[in-house]
Amino acid sequence: MAVTVEIERPTKTLQMVDVVGQYRRYQQEFDDAVLAVLRSGSYINGPVVRAFEEEMSAYLGVRHAIACASGTDALQLAMMAIGITGGDEVLTTPFTFVATTETIALLGAKPTYADIDPRTFNVDPEEFRKKIGPRTRALLPVHLFGQTCDLTAIAELARERGLYLIEDAAQAIGASWNGVKACTVGDISCISYYPSKNLGAFGDAGMMTTNDDALAEKLRSIANHGSTKTYFHDRLGVNSRLDAIQAAILRVKLKYLDEWNARRKEVAALYTEIFSEEPDLIAPPFVHPSAEPIWHQYSLLIRADRTKVMQALREDGVPTSIYYPVPLHLQPAYQLSGGKAGDFPHTEYASEHILSVPMHSELSDTEVEYIAKRFITRVREFKA
């Protein structure tokens, strides 16, 4: 067994995500941007939001980027725009944040699931194929932890079966598959700017992207009470617009996004190098050769008593998190889909063995080494 050389505990408090660190680095820029909005009197939508939308559509290479109030709203609005309703089924993954399933159910449709590829944690296109039924209207894959799904296979499947494709790119802004960016392939793609995301606001914010002019117009109207002209309502809509303050903050951050993602990539490479010391107990994340991830999370599979490892690491000052401890088909709120233990073995295995370590642009190499070495030591101590 390789001997792990321990390194000294960092003086800084380690965090899963350092949301304040980026603010401190560019404080003047953020303060100026927010003050300019306060002085402008234009607080919802308006020129700053439009400018951010244009910058995002240029960054992603997509015709339309429509801002809304959150990633969750982006999913709901996307499904409203394609007409998802009671009796429809939307095929998605049971291994993700609840918003993906929640919004399907809120529209009266039924979330149905396909198991994940155990290496990438993303939905397996072949499983998607097997689960398409007569009521399936759309495929809703999630690009989990910042790595895109197999967009080539999934887009082909959607085309072949006449289904809508909605990408949940909440965790994958800037990630690509075979050089094609997430958010540019689906009929509609959904982005979250939740503060902990790679591009995070200082509050809730979201966006939908599409290359389809008619869908873009619909999305914009649905996000604004179904209206295209003030007090005239052509369709059912909601109030889901973006605050100009959040757009101003996001415009500052967008300038640094690629640099921050590049730092995450370095952090991931260093973690993987160190974790590879213990292949029997720790499986570092697998990167598909066609994928260029943005490392939203760095998630490991471990063969150890996870609760004890987490507790011991807490004593070492190393935070860890479980994304996600209960698969969606086993959540009490989603029993409408009739899920039971054993239905999705890869998902259930991942839920039981996964553990994520801190991942963000503000980590130093020394901190990464400390985290990884303590992690290995604790996993060995509590190995199963």
Helix (H, G, I), strand (E, B) or coil at 92: strand
Residue closest to 328 by CA, chosen among 74, 86, 108, 123 = 123
The answer to whether residue 99 forms part of the interface with ligand PLP (CB under 6 A) is yes
Is residue 76 part of the contact set for ligand PLP (CB under 6 A)? Answer: no
State the sign of the Cα–Cα–Cα–Cα dihedral 270, 275, 279, 285: negative
Strands (E) across 102-215 are located at 110-113, 136-140, 164-168, 176-177, 180-181, 188-192, 206-210
Report the residue number whose CB is nearest to ligand PLP: 71
Shortest Å, Cβ 42 to ligand PLP:
23
Of residues 141 and 339, the one with the C-beta less far from ligand PLP: 141
The only residue of 18, 37, 71, 164 in contact with ligand PLP, by rule CB under 6 A: 71
Applying CB under 6 A, the span of 39-47, 67-75, 145-153, 220-228 interacting with ligand PLP comes to 67-75
Task: Copy the structure tokens of residue 170.
Answer: 């909440």
Q: How far is the CB of 116 from ligand PLP (least distance, A)?
A: 13
Interatomic CA distance for residues 212 and 85, integer angstroms: 21
- Binders of ligand PLP among residues 164 to 203 (CB under 6 A) are 168, 170-171, 192, 194
User: Tokens 């979330």 map to which residue?
Assistant: 111
The span of 33-41, 93-101, 256-264, 357-365 binding ligand PLP (CB under 6 A) equals 93-101
Q: Which of 22, 122, 77 is nearest to 350 (CA)?
A: 122
Q: How many residues bind ligand PLP (CB under 6 A)?
A: 15
> How far apart are the C-alpha atoms of 258 and 76, rounded to whole Å?
28
Task: State which residue, 124 or 168, has the beta carbon closest to ligand PLP.
Answer: 168
- Per CB under 6 A, the list member of 96, 184, 224, 337 interacting with ligand PLP is 96
Taking CB under 6 A as the criterion, the residue among 57, 100, 224, 347 binding ligand PLP is: 100
Residue selected from 206, 237, 293, 327 as contacting ligand PLP according to rule CB under 6 A? 206
Q: Which is nearer to ligand PLP, 94 or 206 (CB)?
A: 206
- Other beta carbons within 10 angstroms of residue 306's beta carbon come to 19
Counting contacts by CB under 6 A, is residue 72 touching ligand PLP? yes
Which of 219/309 has CB closer to ligand PLP? Answer: 219
Name the CA dihedral angle for 59, 63, 69, 75, rounded to a multiple of 10 degrees.
Answer: -110
Residues 135-154 touching ligand PLP, rule: CB under 6 A, are 142
Part of the chain binding ligand PLP (CB under 6 A), chosen from 7-15, 105-113, 163-171, 235-243: 163-171
Q: Which of 30, 52, 95, 97 binds ligand PLP (CB under 6 A)?
A: 97
Dist CA 34 CA 247 (whole Å): 9
CA distances from 170 to 75, 123, 199, 353 (A): 10, 15, 10, 23
For ligand PLP, the binding residues in 233-272 under the rule CB under 6 A are none
Choice between 145 and 164, CB closer to ligand PLP? 145
- Alpha-carbon span 150 to 141, nearest angstrom: 9
Nearest-approach distance from CB 276 to ligand PLP, in angstroms: 27
Report the 3 state secondary structure along 303-352: CECHHHHHHHHHHCCCCCECCCCCCHHHCHHHHHHCCCCCCCHHHHHHHH
Closest CA to 65 of 200, 187, 211: 211
- Asked whether 77 and 219 are in contact (CB, 8 A), the reply is yes
Minimal distance in Å, beta carbon 150 to ligand PLP?
17
Decide whether 111 or 206 has the Cβ nearer to ligand PLP.
206
Shortest CB 77 distance to ligand PLP, Å:
12
**Distances 193 to 43, 240, 294, 356 between C-alpha atoms, Å:** 18, 14, 15, 20
Residues forming contacts to ligand PLP in the complex (CB under 6 A) are: 70-72, 96-97, 99-100, 142, 168, 170-171, 192, 194, 204, 206
